C-alpha cells in the first residue's frame, strides 16, 4: 500500500519512493517543525527512537501511544461535540494537524463520518465558512490574479499534482452562490478521493476561483473571506478559466481537473470546451449521471425489467438532471436504441412545468429533451399523463415528491423514487415518506443519508446516491493510467462496476447501492474499469501493467504511520 512516504519524498528531495525516512532527513525537518507539518506529524505516536533522532524529546508527553489509541481518543472527543458543524470543525482541525490520523479515523468510520466531512454538513460549513475559518487549505485564485495564475499556482508546495477539484462557488449543492466560501467543497471532495479510493493526499489540490459573488448576504458580511464585488461574466470570466486550465496543463501535465458546483450557465459549455483537449470532467454532470445509472441498474434487478422499458420523469432540469439523462440515453443507445428512441424515455419538469417543444423559453440543453406534447404545469397531472416508472428529483425543492407518492404507487407496483437533492432540507422526500406512503413498495435512493425504516416488521435500508461512489474511483483510474482525457465510456463502465458491487442481500434490504463500508473495494473496481477504457482507447500515457488491479491497489494510500528511523 502507498503511504505518506510520497509526501516525505517531495519534502526531502528525489530519493526513491521505496526508501525510508532516515537520519539524514533530520537536518531538514525535525522538532517543532515536524510537529507542525500535518503530512509528517504523528503526534504522541512518535516512538522513543524517533523522539531522540528528530529532536522531539520533551516536546511531547512522555507516554508513546499507538495509532489505535489516538483513534479512540479522537472518536471520544468527536462524539462529545454538540452538533455536526462542530464535528466538521473538529475533523478539519485534525486534518490540519495530523493528516494520517485524520484519514485513519475517516476510513475506519466512513459511514458515520462521510455526512460530517461531506454532504450534508459541508453545505452548512460553506454557508458559515467565513465565520468558522481557521486555516487556509488549497489555492485561492481571484480576479486580482488574472494574468498571473501560473505564478500563484507555483506557490503550491507539492509539484506532482495529479488531481484538482476546482469551483467558482456559484452553485454550491442546492444552496446557490456562496462565492469563495465554496472552498469547502473542493477540500471535502479531495478528502473523499483519499478516503474512498486511496489517492495520496500529497497529489491533491483544492482550488477556489473567487470571481465575485451576487449573494447579497455575503456582500454585506464583514467576515466573508472573498472579494466583496459582483461576479464577472462574459469574456473576462472565460479568459480567467482559460488561463487557469492552461496554467495547470503547463505546471501539472498529468493532473486531472474536476469542475465542481459551477452554475448551469457555465457548467455545460466549460465541459464541452475542454473535454476534448484537457483531462477534465464535471462531477455534477458526469459523476451524477454515472451514479444514478448504477442505481437504476440495481433497481431493475429488483423489478426484473429492462432499462429500455422505463419512462423516467425528472423534477429539475439543471446540470445534474441533464447529465443523468445524457448518461441514460447513452446507455440505451448501447442497448440498441436510436438517439430519438432513447430520448423518448426521458422527460423533464422544470420550475415552469413540462419541458415540451412548443415552449419558447428553453435553453439549448433542455431543448434536446423537449417532447411533442401538451404543456402541463401541474406535477400530479404530469404523473397522470406520463405514468412514469421512475421519478428522479434534482430540483432542490424539499418535499416536492411527498404529495405524489400515493398516486405513483397506484400506477406502478414498484416505483423507483430517487430524491437526490442536497442537503437534507432540500430532499424531494424523506425515506420515511417514500416507504410509508407507498406501503413499502418504493425502490428509494436519496442524495442525503437517511436512517433505515421499519415497516410492517420489515427493515428497509435507503440507498444513498452519493457521487463518492463514482468520482474517487474514476479519478484513481485516470491517475493510474495517466489518461490524457476523461471520456464518457469511463462513466458508463463505472456505473456497471458500481451496480455489480450491489449484492442480493443489499437488494433484499432495499439498497440500490452497496454499503459505504465497502467503498474502497467499490472504488478499486471502478478504477480498474476506468483505466481499462483509457488503455483500450489509446489514452493512457503510463505503461499497462500485467496485473492492472494489483497495480492500482498498490498505489492506494493507506493511512498508517511509518517509521522515520
Question: What is the grid cell recorded at 281?
Answer: 470532467
CA 433 to centroid of chain Cα atoms: 26
Which residues are tagged catalytic? 118, 189
C-alpha 126, offset from chain centre: 15
Residue 397 phi, psi dihedral angles, 5° rounding: -110, 105
Task: Name the CA dihedral angle for 405, 409, 413, 418, rounded to a multiple of 10 degrees.
Answer: -20
Quickly list DSSP for 438-502.
TTT--EEEESS----EEETTEEE--EE--GGGTHHHHHHHHHHHTBS---HHHHHHHHHHHHHT-
What are the b/e assignments for 50-84, b being 16+ CB within 10 Å? bbebbebeeebeeeebebeebbeebeeebeeeeee
Neighbours of 533 (CB within 10 A): 24
416 SS3 class: strand
Say if CB 230 and CB 137 are below 8 A apart: no
What are the E-state strand segments in 184-311?
A: 204-210, 256-259, 280-282
Could you give the C-alpha distances from 334 to 75, 307, 369, 371, in angstroms and in order? 47, 11, 19, 22
Retrieve residue 268's grid coordinates. 455545460
- Indicate the burial class of 394 (C-beta count within 10 angstroms; 0-12, 13-18, 19 or more): buried
Packing angle between helix 548-555 and helix 471-481, nearest 10 degrees? 110
Amino acid at each position: 500500500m502507498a503511504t505518506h512516504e510520497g509526501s516525505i519524498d517531495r519534502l526531502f528531495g528525489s530519493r526513491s519512493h521505496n526508501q525510508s525516512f532516515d537520519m539524514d532527513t533530520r537536518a531538514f525537518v525535525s522538532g517543532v517543525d515536524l510537529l507542525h507539518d500535518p503530512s509528517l506529524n504523528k503526534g504522541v505516536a512518535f516512538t522513543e527512537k524517533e523522539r531522540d533522532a528528530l529532536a522531539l524529546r520533551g516536546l511531547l508527553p512522555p507516554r508513546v501511544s499507538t495509532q489505535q489509541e489516538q483513534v479512540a481518543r479522537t472518536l471520544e472527543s468527536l462524539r462529545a461535540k454538540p452538533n455536526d458543524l462542530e464535528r466538521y470543525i473538529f475533523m478539519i482541525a485534525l486534518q490540519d494537524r495530523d493528516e494520517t490520523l485524520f484519514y485513519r479515523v475517516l476510513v475506519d468510520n466512513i459511514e458515520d463520518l462521510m455526512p460530517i466531512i461531506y454532504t450534508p454538513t459541508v453545505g452548512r460549513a460553506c454557508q458559515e465558512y467565513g465565520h468558522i475559518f481557521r486555516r487556509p487549505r488549497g489555492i485561492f485564485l481571484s480576479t486580482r490574479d488574472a494574468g498571473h495564475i501560473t505564478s500563484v499556482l507555483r506557490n503550491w508546495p507539492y509539484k506532482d499534482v495529479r488531481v484538482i477539484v476546482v469551483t467558482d462557488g456559484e452553485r454550491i449543492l442546492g444552496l446557490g452562490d456562496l462565492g469563495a466560501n465554496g472552498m469547502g467543497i473542493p477540500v471535502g471532495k479531495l478528502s473523499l478521493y483519499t478516503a474512498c479510493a486511496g489517492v495520496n493526499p500529497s497529489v491533491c489540490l483544492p482550488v477556489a476561483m473567487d470571481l465575485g459573488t451576487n449573494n447579497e448576504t455575503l456582500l454585506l458580511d464583514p467576515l466573508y473571506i472573498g472579494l466583496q464585488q459582483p461576479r464577472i461574466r462574459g469574456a473576462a470570466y472565460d479568459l480567467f478559466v482559460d488561463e487557469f486550465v492552461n496554467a495547470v496543463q503547463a505546471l501539472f501535465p498529468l493532473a486531472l481537473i474536476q469542475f465542481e458546483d459551477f452554475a448551469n450557465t457555465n457548467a455545460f459549455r466549460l465541459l464541452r470546451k475542454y473535454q476534448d483537449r484537457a483531462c477534465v470532467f464535471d462531477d455534477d454532470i458526469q459523476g451524477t449521471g454515472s451514479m444514478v445509472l448504477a442505481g437504476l441498474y440495481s433497481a431493475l434487478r429488483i423489478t426484473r425489467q429492462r432499462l429500455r422499458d422505463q419512462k423516467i420523469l425528472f423534477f429539475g432540469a439543471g446540470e445534474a438532471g441533464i447529465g443523468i439523462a445524457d448518461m441514460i440515453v447513452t446507455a440505451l443507445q448501447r442497448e440498441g436504441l436510436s438517439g430519438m428512441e432513447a430520448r423518448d424515455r426521458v422527460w423533464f419538469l422544470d420550475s415552469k412545468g413540462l419541458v415540451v417543444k412548443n415552449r419558447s423559453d428553453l435553453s439549448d440543453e433542455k431543448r434536446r429533451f423537449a417532447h411533442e406534447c401538451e404543456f402541463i404545469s401541474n406535477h400530479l397531472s404530469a404523473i397522470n399523463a406520463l405514468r412514469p416508472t421512475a421519478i428522479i428529483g434534482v430540483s432542490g425543492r424539499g418535499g416536492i415528491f411527498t404529495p405524489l407518492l400515493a398516486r405513483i404507487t397506484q400506477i406502478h407496483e414498484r416505483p423507483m423514487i430517487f430524491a437526490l437533492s442536497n442537503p437534507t432540507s432540500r430532499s424531494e422526500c424523506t425515506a420515511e415518506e417514500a416507504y410509508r406512503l407507498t406501503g413499502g413498495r418504493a425502490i428509494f435512493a436519496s442524495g442525503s443519508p437517511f436512517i433505515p425504516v421499519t415497516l410492517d416488521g420489515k427493515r428497509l435500508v435507503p440507498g444513498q446516491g452519493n457521487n463518492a461512489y463514482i468520482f474517487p474511483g474514476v479519478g484513481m483510474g485516470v491517475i493510474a493510467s495517466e489518461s490524457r482525457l476523461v471520456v464518457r465510456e469511463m462513466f458508463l463502465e463505472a456505473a456497471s462496476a458500481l451496480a455489480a458491487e450491489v449484492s442480493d442481500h443489499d437488494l433484499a434490504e432495499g439498497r440500490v447501492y452497496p454499503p459505504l463500508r465497502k467503498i474502497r473495494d467499490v472504488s478499486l473496481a471502478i478504477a480498474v474499469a476506468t483505466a481499462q477504457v483509457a488503455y483500450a482507447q489509446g489514452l493512457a500515457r503510463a505503461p499497462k501493467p500485467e496485473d492492472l488491479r494489483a497495480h492500482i491497489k498498490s498505489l492506494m494510500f493507506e493511512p498508517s504511520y511509518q517509521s522515520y528511523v
